[in-house]
Amino acid sequence: MQSDIDLKVSQVRALFQEYESGGALCRESDTDIVRVEVPGRPEKPELVSPQSVKMRKLTTPEGRAVLVHAVCHIEFNAINLALDAIYRFREMPDQFYRNWLLVAAEEAKHFSLLRQRLSDMGHQYGDMPAHNGLWEMAVKTDHDVLIRMALVPRVLEARGLDVTPGMIKRLEQVGDTDTVAILHIILAEEIGHVAIGSHWFKYCCEKQDLEPEATFRELLKTYMGGGLRGPFYTEGRLQAGFTEEELAQLSELSP
Residues 6 or more apart whose CB falls under 8 angstroms from that of 166 comprise: none
Here the CATH number for the domain that contains residue 122 is: 1.20.1260.10
Q: Which of 8-22, 65-79, 113-127, 234-248 has the lowest mean pLDDT?
A: 8-22
- Is the predicted pLDDT of residue 102 greater than 80, yes or no? yes
pTM more than 0.85: yes
What are the residues facing 47 on neighbouring strands?
A: 130
pLDDT at 55: 76
249 domain-assigned: yes
The answer to whether the beta carbons of residues 39 and 84 sit under 8 Å apart is yes
Domain for residue 112, yes or no? yes
- Per-residue model confidence as pLDDT tens digits over 182-192: 999 999 999 99
Identify whether 42 is part of a domain: no
* Amino acid code (one letter) for 247: L
**Amino acid residing at 218:** E
Asked whether the predicted pLDDT for residue 153 surpasses 90, the reply is: yes
SS3 sequence of 80-97:
HHHHHHHHHCCCCCHHHH
pLDDT, tens only, 26-75: 666 667 889 999 999 999 999 998 877 777 789 999 999 999 999 999 99
Whole-number mean pLDDT of the chain? 92
- 113 within domain boundaries: yes
Residue 30: C-alpha distances to residues 26, 90, 92 (Å): 12, 11, 16
Q: What is the mean pLDDT of residues 186-204?
A: 98
Q: What is the four-CA torsion angle of 51, 52, 55, 56, rounded to 10 degrees?
A: 130
Residue from 135, 157, 153 nearest 35 by CA: 135
C-alpha distance across the termini of the chain, in Å? 38
**pLDDT value of residue 232:** 94
Residue 183 resides in a domain: yes
Whether residue 38 is contained in a domain is answered as: no
Question: In which domain, by residue range, is 134 found?
Answer: 5-21+47-253
Tally of structural domains, the chain: 1
Judge contact between 75 and 107, C-beta under 8 A: yes
Three-state DSSP at 224 gives helix
Tell me, yes or no, whether 238 lies in a domain: yes
* In-domain check, residue 37: no
